[in-house]
Every structure is written in structure tokens, then in C-alpha cells.
Chain A
Amino acid sequence: MPTFEYAPAPESRAVVDLQPSYGLFIGGEFVDPVDGTSMKTVNPATEEVLSEVAVGGAADVDRAVKAARRAYERTWSRMPAAERGKYLFRIARILQERGRELAVLESLDNGKPIRESRDVDVPLAAAHFFYHAGWADKLAWAGLHGAALGPDGVPLPLGVAGQVIPWNFPLLMLAWKVAPALATGNTVVLKPAETTPLTALLFADICRQADLPPGVVNIVTGAGATGAALVGHPDVDKVAFTGSTAVGREIARTVAGSRKKLTLELGGKAANIVFDDAAIDETVEGIVDGIFFNQGHVCCAGSRLLVQETIAEEVVGRLQQRMAQLRVGDPLDKNTDVGAVNSAEQLQRITDLAAVGDAEGAQRWTAPCPLPENGFWFSPTLFTNVSPAHTIARDEIFGPVLSVMTFRTPSEAVTKANTTPYGLSAGIWTEKGSRILWMADRLRAGVVWANTFNRFDPTSPFGGYKESGYGREGGRHGLAAYVKEA
């Protein structure tokens, strides 16, 4: 059989207009930070510096919160809800119009394949605004039990929301945070992740194009200290955080004793459970999608594969075959399946945890994919001989590393799946519908996918049990996080 090679199919960078430096977006304009520091943001696929971005200090955060408060009191909370909704519809449309530009910029700054930024991140971000736009003037019908109501019977907003988002889905996480906050009548100060600020800064320009009133959305770039200043600011009414469980715990401590409302979407160690009657080809695709989508930088990634013992050998064999076909490399190439690891720091963490897997006696198999010379890369990796006690079966790796374990009965699968402090998501692969539902009832996870994985939709609530956080984002349920309690 002849082998056909893929020709390079790079998406053009020309669509992106990068500035050499960016300030903070406060009160509707870009301003310099008070203390004047900045940081570089890097293309993880080449280590090329893309731009210099301001680092917001406590004084900048304070300025942004004040701008958000002013916009909340003078404009946003007084505007008819239908008009608020129309701003969100505008933003949704501009996200669609500038979709390619956003996708290329996301892939440049984050390292994810253009196929994913173009087909997943950006369309979902637009859909999120579209969906929440419609809610703005329909909150009275959203069944938000226990909400404080205004004179017109409509649930009231909280005020200013401080939002801190991660680097794995920079624009999409922005949409998950900003859209519901604005729809319910809050204004926001958003802190993008240190390593991926660029699409948030482009979003600032989209707010300008939409004529969004100044101060409704403020974007303060920076690192951990910036986020901590925002979360701790006394005039923030609501804190929303997506990121690691460790930081989530710190935030919960910071907020404790205040009246700030808090939602946390944290880490995960999802079990992807495969029964012996599962449709094997679809299942193998689902496993691959579950762990290697977005380089495994996904909080709900199916990082623990639980396979029924009778088919374990076959599944692992097919999985290795499939993994060997994955194309790792240039994120802007339209044929790329797995892109760059987002940062040197994250690459180090993945490398270290994989080494612990070796040391504890698990069997490593690495996909024979050629890797580029520059940039941060980690080949798709699979560990067998893993026991539930192993570090790689317990800790979130947040990279393209899959730990395989086996089970015999559905009850054993449930026990093993639930043996984790996390509870964000789970997957079930079987042709038996009644078993899917039986399993779903017993899995302690906020999202359960059956015969699919990593599906997201603005109408579908997302969030975790246990140490994966609390609160939901998306759907009718996600609105509750942004309205005042009676």
C-alpha cells in the first residue's frame, strides 16, 4: 500500500494584527498600568515573543473595579434588559464575523491546533453569547428559585463580578464568564491567564465595535498576584474562577467570611469507562478525543481509562495504533491533531509526573510522532499497569497522558471511577442504554458523557462535584451564579 504524506496546510497569520504591546482595558479604553510593569507572551510552538502585555497591580485592579462599579450603577443596571440582550447579540455576531482572526490568534498564543480553535473554541464562544443574549430579558422565566426580585419581578444582579480564567481555552472561558454575567445585569473585571492574554485583548476591541458602554467589561492582564488582588478586592460582589484546585482552595479561603458569591470550576481526573460491548472504533476515537483534545489541557479530560478486563488488550492495541497516526506539530497547520504544550512550566509538570509514573512501576508507551525542534512539546503517551494508588491515576496531569486501568463488573467500575477527590466529568462506553443510565446515577461527577466525550454547549450546565469545585456554568442553572439571593 502506498503511503500518502500530508502536504503542509498552514493557516495564514496575515489575518491577525498584533500590536507590539498592550495596556489594560479599563473604562472602555486601553490604559498603561499604574506601576508600569509588563510581561511577554510567547508562541509556545516556536518560543517567539508575540507581544508585551501589561501586568496589572493592585492599583490597576482597583481602578478597573471602580470603572465596573460606575458602569453598573450609571448604565448597565438601569438599561432595559432587552437592550442589554441586544448588546450581547451584537458581540455574538462580531465574534462570528471575526472568527478566523480569533482562531488564528488563539492558536498562536495558546498552541492549540487551528482545527480546534476554529471549529470548537470560537464557534462555542459566539454561541455562548448568543444563548445568553436571549436570557437577558427572560430571567423571570428562568426558574431562579430564591433570587431577590426587583419591582418588576425580575431577578436582580449582584453588581461587579471579578473573574479569573485559565489558559487552556482562553476565549471560550472568557465567554463562559462574561456572557452570563452581562446577561444578568452585572459588570465585570476579567483577569485572563498569564500565558494567554491576547484573545481577551482582541475581545476588548470587539466590545468597542459593539459600542458596549465603557466599564461594562474591563480586562486586567497579569499573573497570580493580579488575580489575587481582584478576588480580594472589597468592592467585588461575585468571584468566578476556573483553574487549578489548589488556587481554587486559596480563593475559597480569601472569600470566606465575606458576602461575595463564589463559583469555582477546578481540576478533574475523569474516568472514561469502556464496557466490552462498546462499539470499538467509535470508542477508540472517543478515548483519543477525551484525552488528547487540546493536548490534554482540559479539566474534564478523560485521563483515567477504565476498560473491562476482557477487552483491555484489544482496546490498548487499537489505541496505540490510533495514537501513532496523530499528527503533532504546527498548531496553525490545518492537519494538526495535537499542538504545543502551552508553556515551559506546564511541559515540566507533565514531564515530571510521567517520570513518577515510570518510577512507581507503570508501563509507559509513547506515540512515535516526530516533534518540532523549537517550542514545548509532549508526545501522546499511554501508561498501562497502572493501579488506582499510583500518582498518575490520582493527580491531574493536564497533558496528553492517559492512564489505563481495568475492571470486571459495573460496580467495580463505579467504585474505581469515584475513587478520586475530583468529580468533574465521566465517560461511559456501552451499547446498553439501561447500563448507561444505571452508571450515570452512580458516578459522582457533574457531567457524564455516554458514547461521546468532551461535548460542550451553552445550554448545557457544566461544573463539578467534590474538589472539582461548585456552581455551574452554562444552561439555565448557570444563571443562578450571577443573581442576588433574597
Chain B
Amino acid sequence: MAARLDVRKTYKLYVGGKFPRSESGRSYEVTDAKGRFVANAAMASRKDARDAVLAARAAFAGWSGATAYNRGQVLYRVAEVMEGRHAQFAEEVARAEGLTAAKARAVVDAAIDRWVWYAGWTDKVAQVAGAANPVAGPYFNLSVPEPTGVVAVLAPQASSLLGLVSVVAPVVAGGSTCVVLASERRPLPAVVLGEVLATSDVPGGVVNLLTGVTAESAPWLASHEDVDALDLAGAAPLPGEDATVDWGALEAAAAATLTRVVRPAGSATSEEPAVEPDWTVLPDGPRRVLAFMETKTVWHPKGR
């Protein structure tokens, strides 16, 4: 008897809560760690990136206006739904990153726990970073962090799932929305994460995931006037490879609209290649959440 032929999945973009192909009609071949063909992924265009920014902007009012408690519940729900797809993620990660099954499972464990970690920060970050300021006068004076807006995220190139979650979760935990360029060569775990987000009470448009060529899309996002912040984590190349992205140039492009920039780790200047950090290390507090928040200070007089 002939073996059953499996039905293969089309890996698409995740924009505004939907799964479109690239409007450009382009795709590119994704291989496993040994170079064998796995699937064709959509190659996002400048128009796709702009559409994604529109979707993220449209989702911002609702997401930033939700209570921190509600956002925490939603992030925790993402962890719950990921847990149910644990095996699928482990398979994708093993294939993309060339890990053993056991190591891939550990990566998925850590990625799920990372959502839980940031779920817990949603309603605590204001308590840790906010302050009642004792100004020298009859005024009530309170500083609180508020989400910055739309964040463009270059997801890490090597750590296709744990690295991705480690940069996306803090953005949405703080109440911002984002457009994410997935790992260029290891994009498929990001697409599966999109499928989880679509079924986890995360409103459409809060997280938008683009697959494609980082060096092509990143400049459009860096210079986009409606992008408020830029995370350059994905500017670090895969280990042993040359950088395809000049993060200094992206930061300079972002300067036009004073877009906030989180620089990649591991190099003194952008002339040296950045180095991707070890994402299994637990984050050092809410630094990444606060990187995408503004401090608002409110004054109010006191008097009879």
C-alpha cells in the first residue's frame, strides 16, 4: 500500500489578524539547517510593511486602552495555547535551528515561560517604574509609563522562536503594537506563532509578522513616519556569517522622526557586527518593556 501523501502548509504573512500572501506575489525558499527544502515563505514587500504599520496603528487604541490586567490575561492565554502546540513548535524549531529534539523542546518550554514572565509584567511595570513625585509646592505629581505606539521589530536571526518571543512579548506587554520582521532564514516558527496569536484573544493588528529579506524591509520601517520605536535585535547576523543589515544606518534613518531605537547587543559600534545574545537567559527585569514606553507626568493643584 502506498504511503499517504501529506498535505503541506502554505506559510503566509500575519497582518491585521489575517494571513495574506505578499501583495508582491513573491516567495522564497526556506531550507532546514542542513540546506534541504522545507517550504516557500512569503517575501514581504514595502507595501506589505506599510500595510502592517497601518494595521498596527489601527490596533493601538484598543490594545493600549485595555487594562493592564486584561493584557496580562491575553499574554497568559498565548502561553496556554502555545503549550497545546508544543510538539509542532518543537518540530519547527528543530528543523529551523538544527537542534536535537530534546533541545528544541527546551527552547519551546522557555518560549512559553517567557510569555508567562511578560504576562506578569503588564500590571507591575507602572508600579516599578512609576513614581509619586514630592514636588516643592501644593501639587499632586505622578509619573506613569505609557506605551509608545507602533514598534518595528527586527526579530533575532538565530533564535527563531525564543528570540522572537523575547522581543515581541515585552512590546505588547507594555501596550504597544508591533510590526515584526521574522528571522530571514528561519521564518517558519514565526508563522506558527502567528497562528497561535490569531487564536489567543490577541486582537488582530497588535502583532503583525512579516517574512522576507530583512535588509530589504528594515529601511522602510526605520524611516516610516508612523513607526514610533525600532528594535534592532535582528541586525545581528547568524553566527559565523556577515551582517546584511547596517544597524547604524537604520538608526540614522529613524532619527528623521526621532523614532526610539533599541540597539542590538554585542558590538562597540555598528562598524563591528552585532552579536545575538543568549535568549535562554532570563531577562534582567522589565528593561525591554520600558524601552517601548514613555513617561507621562501629571500635575494637579491641591487646595480647598
Contacts and interface: CB of A to CB of B under 8 A. Distances in A.
A135 interface: yes
A93 to B, nearest CB: 8
A438 interface: yes
B127 A475 contact: yes
Interface of A: 82, 85-86, 89, 127, 130-131, 133-138, 140-143, 410-411, 433-435, 437-438, 441, 458-459, 475-476
B191 to A, nearest CB: 27
A130 B72 contact: yes
Contacts of B301: 433-434, 437
Contact of B303 (A86, A136, A434, A475): A434
Contacts of B122: 134
Contacts of B128: 141-143, 476
Given A131-B69, A131-B123, A86 B300 contact: no
Interface string B116-131: 1101111110011000
A134 B127 contact: no
Interface in B121-160: 121-124, 127-128, 138, 140
A476 B127 contact: yes
B179 to A, nearest CB: 27
B277 interface: no
Interface residues of B, number: 26
B219 interface: no
B286 A435 contact: no
Interface of B: 68-69, 72-73, 76, 113, 116-117, 119-124, 127-128, 138, 140, 282, 285-286, 300-304
Contacts of B300: 433-434, 437
A288 to B, nearest CB: 26
Given A127-B69, A134-B72, A476-B128, A438 B303 contact: yes
Contacts of B282: 82, 137
Contact of B116 (A85, A135, A411, A435): A85
B301 to A, nearest CB: 4
Contacts of B68: 459
Contacts of B113: 82, 86
A229 to B, nearest CB: 36
B123 A134 contact: yes
Nearest to A461: B127
B116 A86 contact: yes
A138 B121 contact: yes
Contacts of A89: 76, 116, 119
